[in-house]
Amino acid sequence: MKLILIFSALFGASLCLETFVGHQVLRITTRDEEEVKKLQLLESLEHLELDFWINPSSPALPVDVRIPAGNVQAVKAFLESYGIEYSILIEDLQDLLDEEKQDMVNSQQKERSSSSFDFGTYHTLDSIYAELDDLAAQYNYLVTKLQIGQSYEKRPMYVLKFSTGGSNRPAIWLDAGIHSREWVTQASAVWIADKLASSYGNDLSITSLLNKMDIFLLPVANPDGYVYTHTTNRMWRKTRSKNPGSVCVGVDPNRNWDAGFGGPGASSNPCSDSYHGPSANSEVEVKSVVDFIKNHGNFQAFLTLHSYSQLLMYPYGYKCTRPADYAELDSLGRMAASSIRSLHGTTFKVGSICTVIYQASGGSIDWSYDNGIKYSYAFELRDTGRYGFLLPANQIIPAAEESWLGLMKIMEHVRDSTS
């Protein structure tokens, strides 16, 4: 055990993995708009290097923020001076990162001895891509691996196509990992890929779905960011594109879509985690998906996996008006949330992005809905903040299983509503 820990530490050091010793994650609860404004002021103080996991938006929502060790006391003093309540969600972020790394090392050893993919642990991009190859080979009558583009750093963007034949059939889009640090999403997507492939011919609902429609699954929508979370900074969210005139790297790919681009909830500052980029679709990772979906022309649903907060949201985010299909989208979302809750009792809050969290422009499901894909939903998977983006690996499969039930409820409705 000791040797493994030493190896892990050396392995991390050799990759220049950023450490987060003494970093704390606070949950802040605000009572009124005045306190929200104070937190927004705090958010604007770049020298504090705060990483807001949940941004300050309204008194109804908690605010989660990661604070570097050297600034913890200053932030707490600020909050206390205004009587703003907070609690400590994560005492020392590095402890969780060490546990996560150790779990990966242990699982890799087990996988090597058993030669099978462990869906209950976190994997590198190479390991995920190898599993996509294995699925396409094992289920070659159903699964095809397609490359829809290349990332900024020239990594392939792979989609699995699940199809029983026919051309240009009605289709469902599902992606994960557009924000690279949301590791439970990429892991869940690989579990879902295996579930789809292995259930065809055995599960009546999946069989009837795939006999009528195709499913396209992009398990890692931001490959450069994902690799960077493994090699350098586990907390990285954005792409890795260079920003001319700035030392700061990357664009928030879920503020880069052509849907209210550059509006509220997106930043024009390249150093911000929600930087929208120089123009809509400037990120090749976004443009590749846009082009693929437009060229296909027959997508009936667009589903995207994020974490964390346990939410199931439909448009709009860039504006606070209801979509034309509000009643159907809300009703279906609630049925899906009920299916999710039926397995492990996990509750998902349902509503439009603007009402459930905050106004956020340039998001993918607003773009898909405005481009005629009625059934556009974003899932925010587990948890509600205890671990945040560092969900323990033993929760991957339960998170994937429950999310799958919600996805199936939506996909069955799409199947039955498609002529």
* Residues annotated as catalytic (active site), given as ranges: 380
Q: Cα–Cα distance between 81 and 89 in angstroms, integer? A: 20
> Among 104, 52, 18, 83, which Cα is nearest to 396's?
104
N- to C-terminal Cα separation, the chain: 58
85 beta partners: 29
SS (H, E, C) 169-190: CCEEEEEECCCCCCHHHHHHHH
- Between strands 214-218 and 171-176, the pairing is parallel
Residue 67 token pair: 């604070």
335 Cβ contact list (under 8 Å, min separation 6):
409, 413
- Nearest-10 crossing angle of helices 183-199, 204-212: 90
CB 289 within 8 A of CB 175: yes
State CA 256 to chain mean position distance: 15
267 burial (CB, 10 Å; 0-12 / 13-18 / 19+) is: middle
